[in-house]
Chain A
Amino acid sequence: MRQKYVCVAWLFLHFLLIISVSCRETLRLIAQGPTILPSSFKSYSQEAETTVSIALGQHLSASNHVRQTLATYLHISGIEASYGYFAPNVPGSYKLVFELHYRHGRVEYELPSVSSAAAAFRIAGLLDNIGRTRSDALREHLVKMMAQSIWREHADVETVRAIFGSIGLPSVRDFEHGKRESYEFLYAYDFSLQNESPKPNDH
């Protein structure tokens, strides 16, 4: 009987965490919008999200043992993320093009490539992460690392320009009228062997 009560107590805490994480992410989606809810919900959602985040220990210092323990448990049990895939709406995707500049002015274009379809989903996820991050430094660093991976395959390249943009998807009606994917330039970074630190061109 004691074993059963221990199991029930664990179940309660486990699902409390799952539901808290799910609620927090749902409230975050409402706060960030756009959703079908009135815009007045945004501020309430933001406040509620903050409250749930506090309950999940997110406002404790990073070195706090309670926060670290909670984070460890959430990660090892796979419940650190919510389940709002493609929600509330399906976002557009991102594209990264490398412009490879060789000696004598030759220019080639290269896209990040992998061998398998399963890995292609992961690269698309990586581009989404680059596109959505609010940290310019992290974005630059990730693009730089991807540029380095391209560089290793093209050792004779002098400079690499990484051009990052978003892909706009047409609606059904637009598609029927001949409109196709659109590309919107977001960022460009120049890299050279002499000076590997990226130089953002445009934001």
Chain B
Amino acid sequence: MQGLRERLLGFLFQDGTDQWLAILRVGLGFQVTFYSFSLRSDWNYLLSGAGNGVVSRNLAEALLSVESHFVPRLGWLVTLAAPTGLSEETVLSIAWGCLLVAGCGLLVGLACRFSAILAWFLQICTAKSGGFVSYGVDNFMTIGLFYLMLSPLPDRFSLDWRIRNLRPKHPQLLGFWRRVLQLHLCVIYFFSGLTKCLGSGWWNGSSVWRALIRPPFNVIDPEILVRWNYVFPVAGIFVCLLEITYPFFIWNSQTRKIWLVCICVMHVGIGVTMGMYLFALIMIVLNVAAFGPALSRMERCTASLQPHKAVS
């Protein structure tokens, strides 16, 4: 029993560098920045609550309140700013600007913790207030930012470390938060693969075809796609097997590289063929941060170094 407990703790609190955290921070910085820019022109239209948007933000927030009153939302910011005379449009624009600044802060590693918390808070406000217009990318960004803000920041590649000489308070938890991210990815791919395996369309390739011709993902002309129809069943089965076996093969050092590369190629494929660049980027960032450093020579050489020892 004692041995089992020690093995579990050894697995969860494995020594390692903060390379993974740097990848996660920079990757999420890129993601938040691109996310903000991609929605810049439609930001107010998608999130307005005063009858100026596509659907009122107030409706999504009212439905959210049925579940919980304590989930962050843009309505809080609008209400807070109301006594100062700021209009809803101005508050939404400020929120957009702050999200962009938080993304840039993460990118360069300036005020890492504050930037991570601000990015998480504003991203969750956006995702929840725009509940009817949210999709998968919002969920994965929330997951990534949630883990990032709880991780021992800053990492040694950040400006906080290099210029402001800030150091993480609990560097011994670096391995733990990496394990959390790794385990979560395993659950994500397992269930994603399992649910796909339940549909006949993924076994005969029709789901791949339908995903590629379904508006608004129909980036490639179906006339071109149909010439490659023999690839669809192979691609469908490949995606199912790749995802459902991810938790079993990503841990083995012999197969990790193959699975990680295949998963990243799959996401690049989704980004290019379906136009889902933001979705592709967040998934690649999470995967590379979780399992990428273990492949690099640098990580292997410095794995025995505890960050706090390196500092002293």
Residues of chain A whose beta carbon lies under 8 Å from any beta carbon of chain B: 3-4, 7-8, 11, 14-15, 18-19, 22, 25-26, 29-30, 34-37, 62, 68-69, 71-72, 75-79, 81-90, 92-93, 95, 112, 114-126, 129, 141-142, 145-146, 148-149, 152, 167, 169-172, 175-176
Known contacts A18-B184, A120-B216; A88 and B199 CB within 8 A of each other: yes
A78 to B137, CA, bound (A): 11
Say yes or no for B278: interface residue by CB 8 A criterion.
yes
Judged by DSSP, the binding face of A is helix
Please name 13 pairs of A and B residues whose Cβ atoms are closer than 8 Å in the assembled complex, sorted by A.
A19-B187, A71-B67, A71-B68, A71-B71, A76-B71, A78-B143, A84-B195, A87-B198, A89-B199, A115-B41, A118-B42, A129-B132, A172-B206
A19 to B42, CA, bound (A): 35
Find residues 187-232 in chain B having any chain A CB closer than 8 Å to their own CB.
187-189, 191-192, 194-203, 205-207, 209-211, 213-216, 222, 226, 229, 232
Known contacts A8-B12, A129-B132, A172-B232; A84 and B124 CB within 8 A of each other: no
Known contacts A4-B9, A126-B55; A15 and B134 CB within 8 A of each other: no
Query: Nearest Cβ distance between residue B175 and chain A, in whole angstroms?
Result: 11
B187–A22 contact, CB under 8 A? yes
Binds A, one of B46-54, B108-116, B153-161, B258-266: B46-54
What residues of chain B lie closer than 8 Å to A87, measured between beta carbons?
A: 192, 195-196, 198-199, 202
**B250-273 near A? 1/0 per residue, CB < 8 Å:** 000000000000000000000000
A78–B134 contact, CB under 8 A? no
B42–A114 contact, CB under 8 A? yes
Identify the interface centre among B188, B199, B211, B232: most chain A CB within 10 Å of its CB.
B199
B226–A176 contact, CB under 8 A? yes
Query: Nearest Cβ distance between residue B214 and chain A, in whole angstroms?
Result: 5
Judged by DSSP, the binding face of B is helix
What residues of chain B lie closer than 8 Å to A68, measured between beta carbons?
A: 67-70
Query: Nearest Cβ distance between residue B86 and chain A, in whole angstroms?
Result: 22
**B131-169 near A? 1/0 per residue, CB < 8 Å:** 011111001111100100000000000000000000000
Say yes or no for B16: interface residue by CB 8 A criterion.
no
